[in-house]
């Protein structure tokens, strides 16, 4: 079953953390650059501040990418707003990103438990249910979020479900094991498998498709590797190198920019 988040011409191009090769990751500048290129999909991360604001930030601590130190979750948003990524870029709120581009789809990776209950509230206020995909390396976070959501949302499978799909690669697609797995994925609202390149074999992609899952591969920055995965049947690529992926897709006549694209 196709869901609104995935109803765009494939293969899908995801700007990973906004396109971190071109501007500081998860920054307004990165997201804006990808939007100007015509990207319909932005990938980002979600973490909660101590006063329950959901911000676009990958790491648990501020140390790696900002001019501050310590866990971001220990700070109030007013303090986070004063911190700069790479010394220049403010940390966006998820809600502000969703409101800035109402026609853009967002792939949101829930990075902490505190953010789980905040995301449904953000989606309610922004009416963004149909243009987000929620993912996490924690199956427990995904289950908790699903229980709190008012309505169905596109979700990526958990790592455990990725492993389950891999375990069926030699199983008859008509077997009870496959039927049970397909039912479980459907009940979990799982519509895509987002996986590293080492998992994205032709056999895995075919089996995922048989289970009704789109396959998105991360994080691919090499032109030849992008082409190889697309040839295998990948439904989407996540990249920091947003200009490279755009060019690869354009060469294959598979680049479908949104109308806001202004750069060549």
**Which residues have a catalytic role annotated?**
16, 58
CB 55 within 8 A of CB 93: yes
Q: Residue 167, Cβ neighbours under 10 Å: how many?
A: 12
Instruction: Report yes or no: 49 and 115 within 8 Å, Cβ to Cβ.
Output: no
Assess contact for 135 and 194: CB atoms under 8 A.
yes
Residue 109, C-beta contacts closer than 8 angstroms, at least 6 positions apart: 43, 44, 45, 46, 135, 136, 137
Q: What is the spatial distance between Cα 197 and Cα 238, in angstroms, rounded to a whole number?
A: 11
Q: Which residues pair with 89 in a beta bridge?
A: 85
From CA 73, how far away is CA 68, in angstroms rounded? 13
Number of H helices and number of E strands within the chain?
10, 9
Spatial CB neighbours of 170, under 8 Å, sequence gap ≥ 6: none
- Say how many C-beta atoms besides its own lie within 10 A of residue 259's C-beta: 7
| Residue 43: its H or E element | strand 41-48
How many residues are listed for the chain in this entry?
Answer: 264
For strand 214-218 and strand 190-196, is the pairing parallel, antiparallel, or unpaired?
parallel
63/83 Cα distance (integer angstroms):
11
């Amino acid at each position: 079953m196709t869901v609104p988040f995935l109803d765009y011409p494939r293969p899908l191009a995801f700007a990973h953390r906004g396109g971190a090769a071109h501007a500081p990751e998860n920054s307004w500048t990165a997201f804006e650059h990808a939007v100007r290129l015509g990207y319909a999909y932005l990938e980002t991360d979600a973490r909660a501040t101590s006063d329950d604001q959901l911000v676009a930030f990958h790491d648990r601590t501020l140390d790696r990418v900002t001019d501050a130190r310590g866990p971001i979750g220990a700070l109030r948003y007013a303090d986070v707003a004063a911190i700069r990524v790479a010394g220049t870029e403010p940390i966006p709120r998820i809600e502000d990103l969703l409101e800035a581009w109402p026609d853009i789809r967002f792939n949101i990776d829930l990075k902490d438990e505190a953010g789980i209950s905040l995301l449904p509230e953000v989606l309610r206020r922004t009416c963004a249910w149909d243009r987000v995909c929620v993912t996490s390396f924690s199956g427990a976070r995904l289950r908790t979020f699903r229980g709190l959501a008012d309505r169905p949302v596109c979700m990526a499978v958990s790592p455990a479900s990725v492993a389950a799909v891999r375990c069926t690669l030699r199983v008859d697609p008509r077997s009870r094991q496959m039927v049970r797995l397909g039912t479980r994925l459907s009940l979990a609202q799982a519509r895509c498998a987002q996986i590293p390149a080492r998992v994205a074999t032709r056999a895995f992609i075919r089996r995922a498709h048989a289970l009704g899952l789109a396959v998105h591969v991360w994080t691919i920055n090499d032109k030849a590797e992008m082409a190889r995965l697309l040839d295998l049947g990948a439904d989407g690529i996540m990249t920091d190198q947003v200009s490279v992926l755009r060019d690869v897709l354009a060469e294959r006549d598979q680049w479908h920019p949104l109308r806001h694209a202004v750069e060549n």
